[in-house]
Amino acid sequence: MLKITPDGQTTRFATIPGGGNGHVRYHDGALYTVSWQGDRVYRVSLDGEVTALAGTGFPGREDGPGDEARFFRPNGIDLSADGRFIYVNDTDVIDSSDLLHSNSLRAIRLDALSQINAGLVGAWYEPSTAGSGLLFDLVAGRDELFGAWYSYVRPETALAGGENEQRWYTVQGPYSGNRAEVLIYQTTGGRLLAPDPTSTVAVGSGSIRFDSCTEALFEFQFDGDPGPSALPLVRLSPDVLCAQGGLAADLNADPVTIRYIGNLGVMLRYGEQQVIIDGVLGSASGWVEPTADERTAIIEGSGLYVDVEVAAVTHRHGDHISSSVANQFLSRQPNAMFIGSPAAGVGGSISRPGQTLPINLTRFANQQIEVNGVSLTVYHTRHFNQFGNDFSNEINLSYLVELGGRKILHLGDFDYAADNIQALGLAPGELDAVIMPTFKTLISAANFALISDLLAPRTIIAAHLQSAQLSSERNRVLNLLPDAVIFDSPGEEFELNRRQVARHATP
């Protein structure tokens, strides 16, 4: 698998065991491909790490969990529109000399390929048995799963008279992928609020397989039992932290920080990755302007703005971009790539060899790109109308940026309309944050309902307020969206992480 940068530089990106067939699909921060000779489906991270998604590597035609399924000469791959399924063309064998290519269509459910991660901790239960289930946790510092199993005494060991009693066990063992191999322990002795000694012994073993963020199967066997038993489990506690179809979530990972520059300009930061959108500004008279220190730091590539990976502009209006400032910025940021439409000057008035990427899209089209390790999807959306002007023919680019496992959508000067939103192709709840314009008639219950209903982001960030109307427009937004974050003070920051969001100002 080769990687070609916007300036045409070609390097080896990843090696697919058995050789890929040239079909590659992108989804949720990763690439997917098939190995025709390797009989497997592979996931490739954006840093080139290759992992087997499905298939044992031995030819066959068997359904089941990813590490048990078999494929025979898979020869094509695609994604469902909602991103939940991967479809693979598989080869049928008629006889030893007759192969029918693409005769069988196999489906892989991405949300059922959950590696064990910290988002799976909590309460799980067995629906058909009242009062029976497990409480799961992960052992800090080790790839081990721990569970407290609340159940009842087994029939063959029931008390005299057939009376039942509750029974607690614990389970613990190493995990890999979506499966944990555990021992079952029973603790006896001890009394409530008494120092009586206890005794813990292993009484069986089992395997716990997580098929999704809400479904699991616990197969177990007590010592002396004639055969194994199975306990299907469903999640009882909320699963908002669970990482489906990806690598294990790290709840302590660095947050994604969104820093306000001015007007609709922000910088997104995750670790050493930095992305500026609509923040390379000159004057933004009538709107919230960057501070002099902030503008100087951006131009000089100093302070928080050292080694920016990507700078992007949504459209050509002067309160979103300054060509002269952009060229100064690029002269001090030799590794940065500037993205935007030719109408906004990218590749024209904003030009530096190897540092500009003009985006040419028809209305409602999109383009997925990776720039300096940052994954973006660029959408050509319709510009809103305001101040009695018809801006509908302006080229407005909206940017979906994926950083640190989070998805942040910067709308630019976006027209609040159902067709404009539906053209994004994003599922409700998919976004961690949306950054959107809010002033004058853009602030309305109808407009905000479209965002809440059709996108349902975890966090709404309102910006692009008029400098002379900050207080009134802030109050109007909060009356309709009490949980919204308002950006109206340059230098303030908002953090997105997997456990919480926290807004704070920084000097």
More confident residue, 44 or 182: 182
One domain for residues 154 and 227: yes
More confident residue, 25 or 162: 25
Name the percent of the chain lying above pLDDT 90: 50
- Under 8 Å between Cβ of 281 and 265: yes
| Boundary of a domain, candidates 60, 80, 110 | 110
When divided into structural domains, the chain yields a total of 3
Name the percent of the chain lying above pLDDT 70: 86
pLDDT of residue 196: 84
Mean pLDDT, to the nearest integer, of 397-413?
94
pLDDT of residue 242: 62
Residue 88 to residue 33: CA distance in whole angstroms: 9
One domain for residues 71 and 181: no
Mean pLDDT, to the nearest integer, of 446-469?
94
Query: Two tokens at 480?
Result: 């309709």
One domain for residues 182 and 146: yes
| Boundary of a domain, candidates 71, 94, 110 | 110
Which of 149, 108, 144, 155 lies closest to 126 in space, CA to CA? Answer: 149
* Per-range mean pLDDT, top range of 141-145, 254-258, 487-491: 487-491
Is residue 240 in a domain?
no
Q: Can you give the three-state secondary structure of 76-108, one letter per residue?
A: CEEECCCCCEEEEEEEEEEECCEEEEEEEEEEE
| Boundary of a domain, candidates 170, 201, 235 | 235
Mean pLDDT, to the nearest integer, of 436-461?
94
Give the β-pairing of 20-27 and 2-4: unpaired
- CATH number at 51 reads 2.40.10
Is residue 152 in a domain?
yes
One domain for residues 188 and 318: no
Mean pLDDT, to the nearest integer, of 165-184?
88
Phi, psi of 117 (to 5 degrees): -150, 170
Is residue 248 in a domain?
no
| Confidence band for 114, pLDDT divided at 50, 70 and 90 | low
One domain for residues 56 and 131: no
Residue 315 to residue 372: CA distance in whole angstroms: 22
* Per-range mean pLDDT, top range of 74-78, 245-249, 272-276: 272-276
Is residue 372 in a domain?
yes
Could you count the other beta carbons within 10 Å of the beta carbon of residue 212?
20
pLDDT of residue 440: 95
Edge-to-edge, what's the strand order for the sheet holding 265-270?
Answer: 356-358, 337-340, 310-312, 273-277, 265-270, 256-262, 492-496, 501-505
- Under 8 Å between Cβ of 20 and 32: no
Residue 97 in this model has a pLDDT that exceeds 80 = no
Residue 250 in this model has a pLDDT that exceeds 80 = no
Mean pLDDT, to the nearest integer, of 194-201?
88
Q: Domain limits at 198?
A: 118-235
| Confidence band for 454, pLDDT divided at 50, 70 and 90 | very high
Q: DSSP character for 249?
A: P
Q: DSSP character for 291?
A: P
One domain for residues 382 and 478: yes
Edge-to-edge, what's the strand order for the sheet holding 433-437?
Answer: 366-371, 374-382, 395-403, 406-410, 433-437, 459-463, 485-486
Sign of CA dihedral 345, 346, 348, 353: positive
pLDDT of residue 80: 75
Is residue 242 in a domain?
no
Is residue 231 in a domain?
yes
CA angle 298, 374, 13 (to 5 degrees): 135
One domain for residues 90 and 61: yes
Is residue 397 in a domain?
yes
One domain for residues 293 and 346: yes
What does pLDDT average to over the chain? 85
Phi, psi of 297 (to 5 degrees): -65, -40
More confident residue, 380 or 231: 380
Mean pLDDT, to the nearest integer, of 45-74?
79
Give the β-pairing of 459-463 and 485-486: parallel
| Confidence band for 251, pLDDT divided at 50, 70 and 90 | very low
One domain for residues 15 and 78: yes
Residue 408 to residue 266: CA distance in whole angstroms: 11
pLDDT of residue 230: 87
Least confident of 82-86, 272-276, 454-458: 82-86
Q: Which amino acid is at 198?
A: T
Least confident of 48-57, 73-82, 91-100, 445-454: 91-100
- CATH number at 458 reads 3.60.15.10
Give the tens place of pLDDT for each residue, 24-54: 887 766 788 988 888 888 888 887 888 888 8
Residue 297 to residue 274: CA distance in whole angstroms: 14
Q: What is the DSSP string of 472-499?
A: HHHHHHHHH-TT-EE--STTEEEEE-SS
| Confidence band for 102, pLDDT divided at 50, 70 and 90 | very low
Residue 112 in this model has a pLDDT that exceeds 70 = no
One domain for residues 106 and 129: no
One domain for residues 285 and 401: yes
One domain for residues 332 and 425: yes
CA angle 68, 74, 79 (to 5 degrees): 90
Is residue 243 in a domain?
no
| Confidence band for 422, pLDDT divided at 50, 70 and 90 | very high
CA distances (Å), origin 123, targets 141, 149, 150: 22, 10, 11
Specify the length of the chain in residues: 507
Could you count the other beta carbons within 10 Å of the beta carbon of residue 225?
12
More confident residue, 273 or 196: 273
pLDDT of residue 421: 96
